[in-house]
Chains A and B, each alone.
Chain A
């Protein structure tokens, strides 16, 4: 992605550089350990090519399409809630990719959690970082942080508030803990002001955070930008500090 930015005192704008002009030891380390692993027979170069291509192909746009279609097609909504993996195939998302039985980290049991005006879902993986990657892509770093994982299940309203999502007390919050056997995604309530919108118009407002449950869709909101709020009850250790939305 290239975007214009400004720097220096003259305030001129130019294209952002595509990458850095130096080779770091982190980059060298990743290549070296991969080459040795392949030479030692821990996996093959073909394995790596296949998983790399798969990882580059998944992203939250698939989940956005799922939600937009569910909002506009009651039949699809019902099928999505009944069997998430099967419904995904209707829009070209195959949970069996790239091996024929999914990846070791993406078990083929996908459940969609439907919000209502009185019930809000949010997902987490307290054990590790389970995430519905075929429909949402790679998980954000904060989702894998111990602060989010440990604190969301204890103080969901506080943690959601740190993301800028303040829910009134009459709305029940249900935290769904992903695990080795099941992946979850949130189907938010369709916002008012979108009554005559098409799927194509709706999909952009269904951002990744809306499908995790730390944000709500609304007209005009098409990107996940987190406010910086100091954590209440942060997890304290010698190395872990701060807020969930880090």
Chain B
């Protein structure tokens, strides 16, 4: 029996670059003596998944199935919730809901904003 695949498993350069930095929360939190098990953006990520589903852009079940496929084939060694974030963004990019160039540009803008003093 063939299994229908939802995810486009091709690697995405922007996400590969982020992954290769190795800055997952379970790596960096101990360096700073932080005991909170979750990064500060985790709840926002969970809420974003709900928003995408309730508005019909990405139904919850489709998202979880593609997340499983991407976890097995592409982001398996990335810890959660970073894996969940990468899988979500991967899916949005592959479906054309967000464009990779726009995202890279916005990331630069966001970083500048967060680092402003």
The 0/1 profile, CB within 8 Å of B marked 1, for residues 20-64 of chain A is: 111111111111111111001011100110011011100000000
Question: Among B24, B60, B89, which residue has its beta carbon within 8 angstroms of that of A29?
Answer: B89
Interchain nearest-CB distance for B103 vs A (Å): 6
Q: Report B-chain residues with C-beta under 8 Å of the C-beta of A144.
A: 80
Known: A33-B89, A239-B76. A25 touches B107 (CB 8 A): yes
Task: Give the distance in Å from the alpha carbon of A201 to the alpha carbon of B89 in the complex.
Answer: 44
A-B contact count (CB 8 A): 174
Interchain nearest-CB distance for B88 vs A (Å): 8
Q: Report B-chain residues with C-beta under 8 Å of the C-beta of A32.
A: 103, 106-107, 109-110
Q: Is the CB of A33 within 8 A of B114?
A: no
Majority-rule SS of B interface residues: helix
**Nearest opposing residue in chain B for A53, CB measure:** B47
Q: Is the CB of B32 within 8 A of A17?
A: yes
Q: Does A167 contact B (CB under 8 A)?
A: no
Question: Among B44, B65, B82, B115, which residue has its beta carbon within 8 angstroms of that of A23?
Answer: B115
**Nearest opposing residue in chain A for B22, CB measure:** A24
Task: Give the distance in Å from the alpha carbon of A239 to the alpha carbon of B41 in the complex.
Answer: 25
Task: Give the distance in Å from the alpha carbon of A20 to the alpha carbon of B32 in the complex.
Answer: 6
Q: Is the CB of A104 within 8 A of B60?
A: yes
**Nearest opposing residue in chain B for A52, CB measure:** B47
Q: Does A198 contact B (CB under 8 A)?
A: no
Interchain nearest-CB distance for A246 vs B (Å): 10
Q: Is the CB of A37 within 8 A of B97?
A: yes
Q: Report B-chain residues with C-beta under 8 Å of the C-beta of A138.
A: 46
Q: Does A238 contact B (CB under 8 A)?
A: yes
Q: Is the CB of A51 within 8 A of B51?
A: yes
Task: Give the distance in Å from the alpha carbon of A99 to the alpha carbon of B109 in the complex.
Answer: 32
Task: Give the distance in Å from the alpha carbon of A25 to the alpha carbon of B51 in the complex.
Answer: 22
Q: Is the CB of B92 within 8 A of A146?
A: no
Interface residues of B (CB under 8 A from A): 17-18, 21, 23-25, 28-29, 31-36, 39-41, 43-55, 57-61, 64-65, 68, 71-73, 76-77, 80-82, 85, 88-89, 92, 97-98, 102-103, 106-107, 109-111, 114-115
Contacts A127-B61, A239-B71 known; list 8 others, CB within 8 Å.
Answer: A23-B115, A25-B18, A29-B18, A33-B103, A36-B102, A105-B53, A128-B68, A239-B76
A-B contacts, 20 listed (Cβ < 8 Å): A1-B35, A1-B36, A20-B29, A22-B23, A23-B114, A28-B107, A30-B85, A34-B48, A40-B98, A42-B97, A43-B52, A47-B54, A51-B47, A127-B61, A146-B71, A238-B76, A239-B71, A239-B76, A239-B77, A240-B72
